[in-house]
Amino acid sequence: MAKNGNMLAILWMLNAGTKITAKQIAEKLEINIRTVYRYIDSLCESGVPIISDSGQNGGYTLLNNFIQSPLVFDLEEQKALLHAAVFAKEAGYPFSESLNKATQKLKSYSNREQENMLNRHLTGFEVISREIGPSVRKTLKELEAAIANEYSVEIEYRSNREKQPVIRVIDPYGMLYWNNKWYTVGFCRLRKEIRSFRAERITRIQCTQERFKRPDNFSARQYFLQNLLQDQDSKEELLTVIIGGRPEALEDLCIHWFFGHHLKERNPDQVVFLLDERAVMGYVPFILLSYGKAVQVIEPKSLKEKLVSVASELIEHYQI
């Protein structure tokens, strides 16, 4: 058995709760007793609290409940998990209390040198995200449980097109975090189709006793992107959009949540996107207007005209 396998085996032996000697470990693993001593030393150096008693009734034992800690993570893995926890908290992860306990457990079972190193890696590593309210966290917890257990939920949902919340029963297939917002994707009994729902617009949620079966291999992420972005293989006409401007503005467009998915060519002084006509004449002008004079539409002419029209309407609106 390899070194890591032997060390893990020793750990499980110690976790049995009874005292065990180096000789007994050596016999069970069929290794030299001096090798056992080296493995015990390595475990202690990695932060495992092994208690050693000498004398006739001596042997090795583990500190109570130590096996609950993530023993198999090396320092780089621990660092990655703690960094990921920072992102999760800022995203409004609904189980933040459990996450805090897990990260504290991860650090508390490290030795002093490891803990100091982890703290150094965490210092200066910060994420800023939009704060979400306690009611949204509660909604996310309810949704996560319903998704895992395949229970339908009744919600009151306020869309941006409806003045009053509408009661719906949905089968939540999944949840996702996108563009600083949480969503659930599932089958809407009211509309008889799969839809996405923004968590902040759910004003009330209640689990029902009705069960559903999630479609095999369903991906909330894939569904969301397919409905957010046009299908490049669709029969709808696609337009080539060429935009010039300042390098920093063009770079920002290339990583924009919408434009970034349709980038076809990147040059020092211009970028090329392939977009459907509906998007070009719909919400693309409003996105580009936010960049002011930092960008300039080169093609198509129809988009230039639409920008002029939208800007004129805004001027007229604010002159009233």
pLDDT band, very low/low/confident/very high, at 75 (cuts 50, 70, 90): confident
Element (H, E) at 197: strand 193-198
pLDDT at 67 over 60: no
H helix or E strand, kind and range, residue 240: strand 238-245
Q: Is the pLDDT of residue 40 over 50?
A: yes
Q: What letter would DSSP give residue 295?
A: E
DSSP-assigned beta bridge partners for residue 171: 187
The Cα–Cα gap between 14 and 276 comes to 64
The pLDDT value recorded for residue 235 is: 47
The structure tokens listed for 163 are 């003045």
Is residue 220 within 8 A of residue 178, CB to CB? The reply is: no
pTM of the prediction? 0.65
| Range ranked top by mean pLDDT from 43-57, 60-74, 183-197 | 183-197
Whether the predicted pLDDT of 4 surpasses 80: no
